[in-house]
Chains A and B, each alone.
Chain A
Amino acid sequence: MCVWLAVWQILSLCIGQEVLFASPRATFSRLFSLLGTGDFWLKALHSLLGIMEGYLLGVCGGILLAVLTACSKWLLAVFKPMLTVIKTTPVVSFIILALVWLQKESVPVFISFLMVLPIVWANLTTGIAETNPQLLEMARVYRLSKRKILRYIYFPSVLPALLTSLTTAIGFAWKAGIAAEVISTPRESIGAQLYNAKVYLETADLFAWTLVVILLSMLFERLIVFLVGKISALAAKEGV
């Protein structure tokens, strides 16, 4: 970390223009002054809630869709191309489309949702498809109920894939959500601040808000990893 701070400082000294490349000192000074304002926390909270809302909706939607497409080949044939399109289309296209369809406050939520959904769906679908067929045959022979098959075979089989997708998706939700905010500029949001900093050439602001995004993203990734660890430990204890 210290090495990279030194590199940053050297680069800013070499460039010598704060408007092009803010120094660590100017960035942290701006960051600390932001931290002292209620406005900062309000904007950070709005962004946080919007992205988390999209993330949770994406997780729930991904799980639901994975279950549905695992149960019906027809639904799989319907949804698979759509999810492939979502995965391969540039996120900015969706942001612009969403701006046409939705109120700008809802765009980051929708975009986070859209980024998380295929990740969770794809991981779960793979997990379901890779469930040991020998165990499923054993369940059929021993006439286990659907509830038992779900609880004792499918759920433990797909849990690692689900937990992996939760941690992968949080990073995507943040990156895409903030990008959506920058383009849609909802009034109380980090993305709007990034946009304003760019328009008014306030590079220290741009760096400071970017740092905030990185820190919040890391914080939530850690939180998800912590929760995932807790769920895994609980599942192991419960024999799942």
Chain B
Amino acid sequence: MNVTFQDVSVRYADKTVFTHFTHTFSFSGVTALMGASGVGKTTFLRVLCGLEKPESGSVTGFPARFTYLFQEDRLLPWLDALQNVAVVCDEASARRALEEVGLGEELHTKPAELSGGMRRRVALARAFAHDSDFLLLDEPFQGLDDSLRAALLPLLQKEALRRPVLFVTHDRREAQSLDASVLELHGSPAVL
């Protein structure tokens, strides 16, 4: 899947993230987006999928049906884990997704009663259960310990069989273990 950034500029009040950024990306399988904190990785994802409009320039070729795992979990606090996932799919798929991330015992627990890591896994399960043509994950494993990361990495590979996956990470080992293509952003304004 080819996505083109054409002369894209993004500027905030105190920072220029991209200036006349032009590049065509070819996404397939798993792609890891890396770079120092604050370099513009989240902005890149948001501009890529159209959640944020660039000040100038355009992005073309990105599908309309996509899934985005935000840096924040963004769970509905009044719904339990199963209901949170089932808002984006049928209940059987929601149950399966939660079992895959190891939360089969917490189906009826509300977010406030779950640990930070468990909430992250509910958000991951919701992203995995959502049917779309592209999966974007902004630091999917933040707050998870190494053993959980290791257990969840194969799920990303599984997702990559049905749609391109682009995920933000600070851990090069994660990218290597997934045999992912790596995109690395540097500097300010950011360049590849």
Interface, chain A (partner B; CB < 8 A)? 134-135, 137-138, 141-144, 148, 152-153, 156, 235-236, 239-240
Contacts and interface: CB of A to CB of B under 8 A. Distances in A.
A239 B79 CA distance: 5
Given A141-B66, A144-B88, A239 B80 contact: yes
Contacts of B72: 134
Contacts of B65: 143
A143 B133 CA distance: 13
13 contacts: A137-B70, A137-B74, A138-B70, A141-B51, A141-B66, A142-B87, A142-B88, A142-B130, A143-B65, A152-B78, A153-B76, A239-B78, A239-B79
A152 B76 contact: yes
A148 B88 CA distance: 10
B87 A152 contact: yes
Given A141-B66, A144-B88, A135 B130 contact: no
Contacts of B78: 152, 156, 235-236, 239-240
B70 to A, nearest CB: 7
A236 B67 CA distance: 29
Contacts of B51: 137, 141
Contacts of B128: none
A155 to B, nearest CB: 9
B83 interface: yes
A34 to B, nearest CB: 48
B68 interface: yes
Contacts, number: 39
B67 A141 contact: yes
Interface string B114-158: 000000000000100010000000000000000000000000000
Nearest to A238: B78
A134 B87 contact: no
Contacts of A142: 67, 87-88, 126, 130
- Mostly, the B contact residues are loop
Nearest to A139: B87
Contacts of B126: 142
Interface in B50-84: 51, 65-68, 70, 72, 74, 76, 78-80, 83
Interface of B: 49, 51, 65-68, 70, 72, 74, 76, 78-80, 83, 87-88, 110, 126, 130
- Mostly, the A contact residues are helix
Contacts of A152: 76, 78-79, 87
B6 to A, nearest CB: 23
Given A141-B51, A153-B76, A239-B110, 10 more contacts: A141-B66, A141-B68, A142-B87, A143-B65, A148-B87, A152-B76, A152-B78, A156-B76, A239-B79, A240-B78
Contacts of B83: 239
A138 B74 CA distance: 7
A135 B88 contact: no
Q: Give the top 9 A-B pairs by smallest Cβ distance, nearest first.
A: A138-B74, A156-B78, A142-B88, A141-B68, A239-B79, A134-B74, A239-B83, A152-B76, A142-B130
A130 to B, nearest CB: 14
Contacts of B49: 141
Nearest to B88: A142
A148 B67 CA distance: 17
A135 B68 CA distance: 13
A116 to B, nearest CB: 27
Contacts of B79: 152, 239
Contacts of A156: 76, 78
B88 A134 contact: no
Contacts of B110: 239
A148 B110 CA distance: 18
A148 B70 CA distance: 20
A205 to B, nearest CB: 51
